[in-house]
Amino acid sequence: MPLEQHPNPAEHDLLAVIEAWAGSGSLSAPNVVLAQGRFFSPAPWPRRAPRRGLTGRCHPNALRIAQLTGTGYVEGFAFLAAGETAMPHAWCSGPDGLVLDPTWPDHAATAYLGIPMAIAFVEVFQQRTLTKTAFVGVLDAKVQVARDALRIFTGGIPEHGLLDVGRPLPERALVGHPFGLVPRA
């Protein structure tokens, strides 16, 4: 895992957007990401990596690449270079904390903030929520309400489902979580 660093300007901007979204106090993906998320560093797509997937299908793309490469599945938010907009997104990362983005072209995003998950956890989640054929992510609000009884939004990703990759968030992002999640060190 890379040494702890202060957020770069793009990460700072992404964090500010996520904190604003989480400020409503409602049970939501931004709150879980602030409690358990990590920063990841953008990187070019490796030459020998499997082919990228279709745009608009980041969650199944990321899970497929994680399964093929043995990297972790990461779900959270990315800050797009064009328009400086934050978007929900999924990607992969290995122990180095570098992004392996199977959906967007290189340099499309300038910052990534998400929760690194073990492939086995995501596969069990798919079975439990019956979302394997139409996977839209672990943090999807509709899945959490209709199929998972808000388990992730109220208790976070269980410890056995987390991976220790990426860079921790600065302390200011960890204050006042509305549902008692304990940030990982």
Mean pLDDT, to the nearest integer, of 73-79? 98
Query: What is the per-residue pLDDT across 107-163, written as a single tens digit (0 to 9) for each?
Result: 999 999 999 999 999 999 999 999 988 999 999 999 999 998 899 999 999 999 999
Beta strands in the chain (DSSP E): 38-40, 72-80, 85-93, 99-100, 109-117, 167-168
pLDDT band at 4 (very low <50, low <70, confident <90, very high): low
pLDDT band at 181 (very low <50, low <70, confident <90, very high): very low
Measure the CA–CA gap between 94 and 2, rounded to whole angstroms.
11
pLDDT of res. 7: 87
What residues does each domain of the chain span?
9-168
Residue 105 pLDDT > 70? yes
Percentage with pLDDT > 90 across the chain: 75
Determine the residue type at 78.
A
Computed over every residue of the chain, the mean pLDDT equals: 89
What is the reported pTM? 0.90
Helix (H, G, I), strand (E, B) or coil at 110: strand
Residue 3 pLDDT > 50? no
